[in-house]
Amino acid sequence: EWIYMNGEFVSRDEAKVSVFDHGFLYGDGVFEGIRVYDGVVFRLRDHIKRLYDSAKSILLDIPMTPEEMEAAVVESVRRNGLRDAYIRLIVSRGVGDLGLDPRTCSRPQVIIIVSQIRLWPKELYEQGIRVITVPTRRNAPDALNPKIKSLNYLNNVLIKIEANLAGVAEALTLNQDGYVAEGSGDNIFIVRRGVLCTPPAYLGALEGITRQVVMELAQELGYTVKEEPFTRHDVYVADEVFLTGTAAEIIAVVEVDGRTIGSGVPGPITRRLTEAFRRRVRVDGTP
Ligand code: PLP
């Protein structure tokens, strides 16, 4: 396992970060999760764009160009020789002193880890998952905007803990006004009478790349896709519900807060989109 660290490849044992790194001390940094399918990096350009947008928003100057970053990702995949993998790309503010002022940090750290993918068990994809909605709310857009994929994921961690405590696979979070926002690390879609709907990102969701791909696929298949606010009630009475994300891909939700969704099994549109997604990931990447 070769890990890219600031322009060099080091072994897993050598890949160590200082305790003075502000990514560690303050969650000061940004990241991306990216997939490799059959040797091809899926939607790399979109992920790099989102990384640089996130960095810009928190005034983090990534010490290389987007093109150099793309090349570094592709080289990391090649070095590790994995055909199917999960890539974690991290840019932290770097090593500074104990104060939170980023001016003490000399240089951002760029780290690329190429690893095996850890998916949810196969049965969950076949049966669908149970989820709950949790008390932890999405940040308001004038706090740390949820569109920024920052290293500050404590909200998301709390959502996951709340799901764990309830004994379910994942949880949905609402925004400050009570509209459904997203999962702990995935976006949500609901389907009603053949129409798909996903919350607009401004409500408090990450602009997921899988979400974007699913919207494109749904339109190509002739479905109407809306980006509109909806409430928990709309989720409960939906015909189908599914989550999308780089790690999870597309996974059906068959129960929300104890309400069975549709007939309690992954619905036909979710299945169709899953098949279309499986085909798309193999043709739409950076070799
Ligand atoms: N929402 C959050 C909070 C996430 O961390 C992720 C994961 O990246 C997503 C949604 C899904 O986005 P993507 O499809 O780009 O992986």
CATH code at position 149: 3.20.10.10
Q: Ligand 1 center to residue 269 CA distance, Å?
A: 21
User: Do 126 and 95 share a domain, yes or no?
Assistant: no
User: Do 230 and 260 share a domain, yes or no?
Assistant: yes
What's the pLDDT band for 286 if we cut at 50, 70, 90? low
Give the domain-ending residue among 99, 115, 131.
115
User: Do 35 and 155 share a domain, yes or no?
Assistant: no
User: Do 267 and 239 share a domain, yes or no?
Assistant: yes
pLDDT in tens, 134-161: 999 998 888 899 999 999 999 999 999 9
pLDDT given for residue 201 in this prediction: 95
Q: Is 226 a catalytic residue?
A: no
Q: How far apart are CA 195 and CA 252, in angstroms?
A: 16
What's the pLDDT band for 285 if we cut at 50, 70, 90? low
User: Do 204 and 84 share a domain, yes or no?
Assistant: no
Say if residue 122's pLDDT is above 80.
yes
pLDDT given for residue 140 in this prediction: 86
Give the domain-ending residue among 70, 89, 115.
115
| Residues 62-79, mean pLDDT to the nearest whole number | 98
Say if residue 284's pLDDT is above 90.
no
pLDDT in tens, 3-12: 999 999 999 9
**Which of 49, 147, 149, 160 is labelled catalytic?**
149
Q: How far apart are CA 215 and CA 234, in angstroms?
A: 19
pLDDT given for residue 176 in this prediction: 94
CATH number of the domain encompassing residue 40: 3.30.470.10
Q: In terms of residue numbers, what domain contains 254?
A: 122-286
How is the chain split among helix, strand and coil, in percent rounded to 5?
A: 30, 30, 40
> Among 178, 285, 188, which Cα is nearest to 227's?
188
CA-246 nearest atom, ligand 1: 16
Which residue pairs, CB below 8 angstroms and at least 24 apart, start in 45-51?
Answer: 45/70, 45/286, 46/209, 46/212, 47/89, 47/209, 48/73, 50/149, 50/207, 50/209, 51/89, 51/91, 51/149
Please state the domain count of the chain: 2
